[in-house]
Amino acid sequence: MTTELHIASLVVRIDPARMAEVLPRLNALPQIEVALHDPSGKLVLMMETTDEAAIAGTLTRIQLMDGVASAALVYHHNLEPDEAAQTEGNAR
């Protein structure tokens, strides 16, 4: 049985002076991948999960992290079980 797949992206701004401190904490979050970041403190995070509530919970957790100025959900797509199975069949 295949479950839903939720794909989300988040835009995060962090204090550039705290990049070395915040990046490892972001990378340690479950289901999060730091897709892009630059020295000015702009980051794009990707998240894949089977639970939509995990996206909201992770976003809140990031927003409350020391060194994070802002974090926002900019994309969310839900693949239904049959779509997710087709995607898994076409794995990279």
pLDDT digits (tens, 9 = 90+) for 37-56: 999 999 999 999 998 999 99
Q: Which domain holds residue 24?
A: 5-89
Overall domain count for the chain = 1
pTM of the complete model: 0.82
Average pLDDT over residues 68-75: 97
C-alpha separations of 74 from 26, 29, 46, 81, 85 in Å: 17, 18, 10, 23, 25
Rounded Cα distance between 70 and 88, Å, is 33
Query: Does residue 16 carry a pLDDT above 70?
Result: yes
CATH label of the domain that carries residue 78? 3.30.70.920
Average pLDDT over residues 5-33: 96
Of the two residues 1 and 35, the one the predictor is more confident about is 35
Query: Does residue 2 carry a pLDDT above 70?
Result: no
